[in-house]
């Protein structure tokens, strides 16, 4: 039995550029194959409409497409149908502007940009509060996740909302999740049943 | 500032044998390097005492140790101190009996085995209920996660508790998270602040 989602279409973008490195410099990170698999599976499990991998380097996008095509068109999909289904919602795309355009073409509306970060900061919205707001939103939502040491300030400032960081359950002194784990936890906090 | 955990020591074991394959046959799976990284980081973030990678194949354990040693003893740890800290709680070990023995040596008590599975079934305990019970438990807890198509029935029957599967927020028709994502979500549900 399928139930209708009580929220607008939700999309996710994994940003490879512009992000920062360990020294705070603006860089472009490489696409990690496991990010394709793990985040597509989590996005599909939590009912997201689309997952955009944002990378301006064409050769990187081509390599990622080739990996996914093993499942989408090749023998992988016959062996594991669920992996094929997960990759069907993935789009490899050059920049955030193209993501916004694609969502507008699909939904007729500009997406609401929602930033995430592992760092504490001003003006963050709690997961609980944003979860409650979701059902009342009209516009599609685009959750932004950075790679490397996080998205640049310039990019973060484009977001309408900024989610609080995940705080683990330990003594609070260590908080270094992979982006794959952070995506899974945030989707569960916002959309988990 | 550090706060004391209000629960007994919690350990996690990722089981590579005995698990099943897509045809329900008993197999031994390979160690996936990303499981070392992602699960160690999640375990450390949520304050776990130890993360055991359970694999009877010595060459597999040696390869995994070599990867971790890059961070524990080599240049990786200088570049990224937090990865080193995560790997410090990882133990590569041949079977579940050795895990139980190690925990008994460390804590003086037999661990309570808690199974997880992506499949629905009888007698499952909800995340909410187990989270509430955690603070009252005296014995250390060992969370069991399977690889491949899941742990064998024989192994699952050794567990005192069996957690409910994660149900995503989609229409419920797709539920295929990676074990890395499942670990992250379950630790957050049981221990997240």
Q: In degrees, to the nearest 5, what angle opens at C-alpha A10 toward C-alphas A6 and A16?
A: 165
Residue B138: give the domain boundaries. Answer: 10-168+178-191
Kindly indicate the confidence band of residue A108, based on its pLDDT and cuts at 50, 70 and 90: very high
Kindly indicate the confidence band of residue B3, based on its pLDDT and cuts at 50, 70 and 90: low
Q: Do B82 and A47 touch (CB under 8 A)?
A: no
The beta-carbon neighbor of B184 closest among A47, A79, A184 is A184
Task: Tell me the per-residue pLDDT of A33-60, one tens digit each, with 9 for 90 and over.
Answer: 999 999 999 999 999 999 999 999 999 9
Q: Do A177 and B41 touch (CB under 8 A)?
A: yes
The residue with tokens 């995430």 is A116
Q: Do A170 and B86 touch (CB under 8 A)?
A: no
State whether residue B46 sits within 8 Å of chain A by CB.
yes
pLDDT reading at B169 higher than 80: no
State whether residue A112 sits within 8 Å of chain B by CB.
no
B101 falls within a domain: yes
A3 falls within a domain: no
Q: Bin B108: left if φ > 0, else alpha if -120 < ψ < 50, else beta.
A: left
Shortest Cα distance, chain A CAs vs residue B184, angstroms: 5
What tokens does B173 get? 């028709």
Quick one: DSSP state of residue B106? H
Distance CA A156, CA A153 (A): 5
pLDDT at A3: 52
Q: Do A192 and B185 touch (CB under 8 A)?
A: yes
For residues A98 and B22, the model is more confident at A98
State whether residue A184 sits within 8 Å of chain B by CB.
yes
| Dmax (CA) of chain A | 50
> Among A37, A156, A143, which residue's Cα sits nearest to residue A99?
A143
Q: Which of A44, A127, A185 to mutate to test the interface with B (most CBs of B within 10 A)?
A: A185
Asked if A147 and A14 touch (Cβ cutoff 8 Å), the reply is yes
pLDDT reading at A2 higher than 70: no
Tell how strand B19-20 and strand B26-27 pair up: antiparallel
A180: number of Cβ within 10 Å: 27
Q: Do B185 and A174 touch (CB under 8 A)?
A: no
Look over chain B and give the mean of its residue pLDDT values, rounded to a whole number: 95
B113: number of Cβ within 10 Å: 21
Distance CA B68, CA B31 (A): 12
Q: Mutual orientation of helices B33-45 and B58-72 as an angle, nearest 10°? A: 60
The burial of B153, by beta-carbon neighbours within 10 Å (0-12 exposed, 13-18 middle, 19 or more buried), is given as exposed
What tokens does B5 get? 């955990």
Residues of A in contact with B181 (CB under 8 A): 38, 41-42, 180-181, 183-184
> Among A43, A125, A104, which residue's Cα sits nearest to residue B169?
A43
B1 falls within a domain: no
Q: Which residue of A has its CA nearest to B37?
A: A178
Shortest Cα distance, chain B CAs vs residue A4, angstroms: 7
pTM, entire model? 0.96
- Number of structural domains (chain A) is 1
Q: How many CB pairs under 8 A join A and B?
A: 153
Distance CA B77, CA A83 (A): 34
| Dmax (CA) of chain B | 50
pLDDT at A126: 97
Coil/strand/helix, residue A10:
strand
Asked if A181 and A133 touch (Cβ cutoff 8 Å), the reply is no
Backbone angles phi, psi at B98, to 5 degrees: -70, -35
What tokens does A168 get? 């683990």
The burial of B144, by beta-carbon neighbours within 10 Å (0-12 exposed, 13-18 middle, 19 or more buried), is given as buried
B2 falls within a domain: no
What tokens does A178 get? 């992979």
- Cβ contacts of residue A96 below 8 Å, gap of 6+? A13, A15, A54, A144, A155, A158
Lowest-pLDDT range, A33-47, B49-63, B156-170? Answer: B156-170
Kindly indicate the confidence band of residue B2, based on its pLDDT and cuts at 50, 70 and 90: very low
Asked if B9 and B52 touch (Cβ cutoff 8 Å), the reply is no
What tokens does A192 get? 């988990």
Residues of B in contact with A170 (CB under 8 A): 5, 44-48, 191
A2 falls within a domain: no
The beta-carbon neighbor of B3 closest among A38, A171, A181 is A171
How many angstroms separate the first and last alpha carbons of chain A? 15
CA distances to A175, B15, B64 from B33, rounded to whole Å, are 20, 14, 7
What CATH number should be reported for the domain holding residue B143?
3.40.1280.10
Asked if A177 and A140 touch (Cβ cutoff 8 Å), the reply is no
pLDDT at A6: 86
């Amino acid at each position: 039995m399928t139930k209708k989602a009580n929220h607008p279409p939700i999309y996710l973008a994994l940003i490879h550029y512009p992000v920062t490195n360990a020294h705070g410099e603006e860089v472009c990170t490489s696409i990690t194959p496991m990010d394709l698999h793990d985040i597509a599976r989590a996005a599909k499990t939590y009912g997201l409409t689309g997952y955009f991998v944002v990378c301006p380097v064409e050769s990187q996008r081509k390599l990622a497409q080739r990996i996914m095509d093993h499942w989408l068109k090749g023998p992988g999909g016959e062996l594991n149908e669920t992996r094929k289904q997960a990759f069907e919602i993935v789009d490899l795309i050059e920049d955030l502007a193209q993501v916004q355009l694609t969502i507008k073409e699909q939904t007729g509306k500009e997406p609401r940009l929602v930033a995430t970060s592992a760092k504490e900061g001003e003006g963050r919205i709690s997961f609980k509060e944003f979860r409650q707001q979701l059902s009342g939103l009209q516009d599609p939502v685009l959750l932004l996740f950075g790679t490397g040491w996080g998205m640049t300030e310039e990019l973060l400032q484009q977001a309408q909302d900024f989610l609080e960081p995940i705080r683990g359950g330990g003594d609070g002194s260590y908080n270094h999740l992979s982006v794959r784990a952070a995506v899974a936890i945030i989707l569960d906090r916002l959309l988990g049943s």
